Structure 1
Amino acid sequence: MTTVEARPVADVTRAEVEDFLFHEAALLDDWRLEEWIELFTLDCTYEVPATDAPDADPGLTWSLIHDRRTMLEQRIIRLKKPAAHAEFPHSQTSRIIGNVRITERRADALLVEANFIVSRMKAGKFDQYVGRHHYELLPAADGFLIRRKKSVLAHDRLDPQGKISFVL
């Protein structure tokens, strides 16, 4: 796990944030989920809100995903098992991250937004998911830690099954 040390938020560059987000995308595309989870703080939140209510309070409404660290770890364990039929064999994904912006610098964290396109290939079917990631990043000695990641899909609906079986 990345270690948190006092690193001034004001010293962080957009290029450093981009490199971190590109690294995160590569871990997900390579299905290195155990390494990916280590990018998160112990008190993290990972959220994919419903497509019709992206700004709703996840405590009061339905979300596609709303996980704390323990549930996120369990999700990864399930996805890696051959019994996870929706993802065995695993989807092939290719992520493009762009328009990375640091939207706010707080005393101990950065708020960051980035657009994404995730292309997914599985069982002869090709899907694309597009949207915007919202992060709360903690600068650390050797990179960043994710305290919050919210992935808002720019879709009016999902496929008829209405689920995402891989990590955005």
Structure 2
Amino acid sequence: MTVTTDVRQDVVDFLYEEARLLDQWKLLEWANLFTEDGSYYVPPIGEPDADPYKSLYYIHDSRSRLQERAERLLKKEAHVEYPHSTTVRNYHNILIKEGNQETIQVECNFTTYRTKREVMDTFIGTASFTLEQTTGGLAINSKKVILQLDSLRPQGKISLIL
């Protein structure tokens, strides 16, 4: 598989834009980065290959559920995230696993820092993306986040999008 330097740079820029939208709480714009049949998964800690129909995933969303999640988190009634957390996301070690004219498989490490009510949480892990080349540019067909934590403590909960 050969990916041109231009395509690689487009992928990196796209991932950085995704992180920027999430950090700025532009969740509806973020949801629009996904294809109509897109999906977003966060499997249980320590079980990255768990069957989503037999295991309790932290997040197992279709595109329509992503939209609902984004709308819900933006409401004042979402007390756990109102006012919104301050977040900083970093993608690093971005690796294009394979690609062709239509789809690109990407893996990277991530660090997400969240501060809220004078408490800072750090989430670390890997993210795998299946990106599609569309007429409007790149779009996410699938995003899978593997948390590299022993547990959710001290964080205790995931109330934001990783």
Q: TM-score range by the shorter chain?
A: over 0.9
Q: CA deviation at 1:105?
A: 1.7
Instruction: Quote the Cα distance in structure 2 between the aligned partners of 1:23 and 1:107.
Output: 21
Instruction: Quote the Cα distance in structure 1 between the aligned partners of 2:121 and 2:154.
Output: 13
Return closer, same or farther for 1:160/1:99 CA change in 2, 3 Å cut-off.
Answer: closer
Instruction: Quote the Cα distance in structure 2 between the aligned partners of 1:10 and 1:51.
Output: 32
Q: Which residue of 2 aligns with 1:56?
A: 50
Asked if 2 retains the 8 angstrom alpha-carbon contact of 1:51 and 1:155, the reply is: yes
Q: Which residue of 2 aligns with 1:6?
A: none
The runs of at least 4 aligned residues of structure 1 exceeding 6 Å deviation read: none
Q: CA deviation at 1:128?
A: 0.4
Give the root-mean-square deviation of aligned CA atoms. 1.7
Instruction: Quote the Cα distance in structure 1 between the aligned partners of 2:50 and 2:156.
Output: 18
> Deviations along 1:2-43, whole A, 9 cap, x unmatched?
xxxxxxx95562221111000000000000111111100010
Instruction: Quote the Cα distance in structure 2 between the aligned partners of 1:142 and 1:70.
Output: 20
Q: CA deviation at 1:141?
A: 3.4
Is 1:90 aligned to 2:84, yes or no? yes
**Structure 2 counterpart SS, 1:63:** coil
TM-score (norm 2): 0.92
Q: Which residue of 2 aligns with 1:150?
A: 144
Asked if 1 retains the 8 angstrom alpha-carbon contact of 2:121 and 2:154, the reply is: no
Q: Which residue of 2 aligns with 1:101?
A: 95
Q: CA deviation at 1:159?
A: 2.5
> Deviations along 1:72-116, whole A, 9 cap, x unmatched?
111111101111111000000001111111101256211100110
Q: Which residue of 2 aligns with 1:43?
A: 37
**Structure 1 counterpart SS, 2:18:** helix
What 5-or-longer segments of structure 1 have no aligned partner? 1-8
Q: Which residue of 1 aligns with 2:110?
A: 116
Asked if 1 retains the 8 angstrom alpha-carbon contact of 2:101 and 2:133, the reply is: no
Q: CA deviation at 1:58?
A: 1.2
In the alignment of these two chains, the number of paired residues is: 160
Bigger relative CO (Cα 8 Å, ≥ 6 apart): 1
